[in-house]
Chains A and B, each alone.
Chain A
Amino acid sequence: MSAPPEDLGPLAPGLWRGAGRRLLTDRAATAALAAIFALIAAAIIGPHVNPNRFDAIDWGNIAVGPSLRHAHWLGTDRLGRDLFVRTLLGTRISLAIGLVATSVSLAVGIVYGAVAGFAGGRVDHLMMRVIEILSGLPLIFFVILLTVVFGRNLLLLFVSIGAIGWLTMARIVRGQAMVLRGREFIEAAVAGGAGPARIIFRHIVPNVIGPVIVYATLTVPQMILFESFLSFLGLGVQEPQASLGTLIAEGAAEMESAPWMLLVPGVVLAILLISFNVLGDALRDALDVKEH
């Protein structure tokens, strides 16, 4: 609908500003966002409010249950290490892996996908074959291979998970970029003398960010889950460090005698995963300009 300029209202909301407002009117999304921030804050601050250290062994309290009567609020494991501190530490590492791996996959995937999608033709063909080959390789063997060759270290874990995660991201971005390439404003940019780099970074990337952010939000829990899976197999984080995955693996072994060892990290992981998924869905709705 046409409107005379004086009726445009207060200063321009871009597509993003409106989206933020819409997101906050969604109750589930607000709750999810709050849960995520609370867990992040707890993971950072939490270990400091409890006197126990994550690798300190309390010989007097081995495998005790959760209680407020002693210093181990959420109990201890079989070695007498404090579960509250270890779970928060695990959350910190799991979150870090999820976020770093997602960032790696974002950075690589966006650039790779945007280039392939915009270039089209033979370049695109070649780039997509590379992706197909990579996604054909069994990821677990790839990670095992890396850990065998370079030893187990956290940085490597980050990079190797992220390095696989970008494949799907690149596919999504490429699809979006191919749609955009046919749009008139990209044609207008080409006609206006813009080079490929400018078109990709100024025009294509900003316009694919919407769907990409949604996917990235949904990628974080996948990455966390994947790390948990690797750790469960004993390929992830190394003792005495802990991630939610290693804690769950230890807990699973003691499920019958000490159920809290499984329940505590399990519940935290579940909250994390559900929150990210809810947030991702809500973001998708909020960013869908056509509906508003």
Chain B
Amino acid sequence: MSAILAIDGLSVEFRRAGAAIGALRQVGLKVAAGECVGIVGESGSGKTQLGMAVMGLLPANAAASGSIRFAGREILAAPRALLQSLRGAKLAMIFQDPQSSLTPHLRIGVQLAEVLVFHRKMPRRRAQDAALAMLRRVGIDDAARRMRQYPHELSGGMRQRVLIGMSLLCGPDLLIADEPTTALDVAVQAQVIGLLQDMRREFHTAIVLISHDLAVVAGLAERIYVMYAGRIVETARAADLYRGPRHPYTAALLRCAPRIDAALAPRLDTLPGQPPNLALPIEGCAFAPRCWRATERCTRERPLLLPADATAQAACHHPLCA
């Protein structure tokens, strides 16, 4: 399978108030056509910046270096016109907050049709029909009426469905979903994950699912990248990762979140401390101060992301299992 998205040595730095914040540090990642890849990390791990960098939506005070190849074409620092023609057509993104991703004063139908009119130069009437068909496909009942409604008249789950439908209108090759279910209730969350699953099967769109919750990613992704302090610390096939995490951070993430189907213990397992300050230089392994397996070597020498077996990589001097 050819890679639809290939990121190599991507670094992103933010300049703010004289300090340089290293949000992404030498990140490499591959997504095959039609594949679903999960990116998991906590706030400040750089997972959102990764999505933004691919979309070419980094803020003005960000400096990016490295390479992002989309369908074989370099898109990091590509001309704005190229990015604009890709965005929304071949390359789509949905966000955590479906409310702010829709224009408040335009009817749903108009916003959906606009995508096709702009990218496909479709006549408005035909675009409207296509939009209506898409709304039905993403499971919105009474779609004809919804077309005439405004975003605030829809519930959160419905708005997310609309956005998913909108992002799929032009049949994108890659969909980046940044915390698409975080703002939703569990029941609706399950519906949206189910919808993404169905849509992926139907449109053969590759999906990058970004989330802080391993359990959400578990329902969809085939491969998972775990990020910490701007770096990828582990990558593996989803099933392998859950069965036997290699990086202590991944293990901690799996252990820390209380699970509804796990045995109860008197205390929750925790990870002491906090993620490092990215404005300061980090020596050795960024996770070392919170790691129970850390040795003197970890504080001195940064572990490289090395292959652990045919499909997995981990950046740790003292990986678990093996």
Contact = CB atoms under 8 A, between A and B. Distances in A.
The answer to whether A and B assemble together is yes
Interface of A: 1-4, 7, 292
Contacts of A3: 274, 277, 279
B275 interface: yes
A3 B280 CA distance: 10
Contacts of A1: 21, 44, 277-279
B17 A7 contact: no
A3 B44 CA distance: 10
A15 to B, nearest CB: 15
Contacts of A292: 17
B190 to A, nearest CB: 30
Given A1-B21, A2-B44, A4-B289, 18 more contacts: A1-B44, A1-B277, A1-B278, A1-B279, A2-B43, A2-B274, A2-B275, A2-B277, A3-B274, A3-B277, A3-B279, A4-B273, A4-B274, A4-B276, A4-B277, A7-B277, A7-B280, A292-B17
A21 to B, nearest CB: 11
A3 to B, nearest CB: 4
17 contacts: A1-B21, A1-B44, A1-B277, A1-B278, A2-B43, A2-B44, A2-B274, A2-B275, A2-B277, A3-B274, A3-B279, A4-B273, A4-B274, A4-B276, A4-B277, A4-B289, A7-B280
B299 to A, nearest CB: 14
Interface of B: 17, 21, 43-44, 273-280, 289
Nearest to A4: B274
B279 to A, nearest CB: 8
A3 B273 CA distance: 10
Contacts of A4: 273-274, 276-277, 289
Q: What 8 pairs between A and B have smallest CB-CB spacing? A: A3-B277, A7-B277, A2-B274, A1-B44, A2-B275, A4-B274, A7-B280, A2-B44
A227 B103 CA distance: 48
B250 to A, nearest CB: 20
Contacts of B44: 1-2
B137 to A, nearest CB: 40
B26 to A, nearest CB: 20
A2 B278 CA distance: 9
A146 B279 CA distance: 62
Contacts of B275: 2
A92 to B, nearest CB: 41
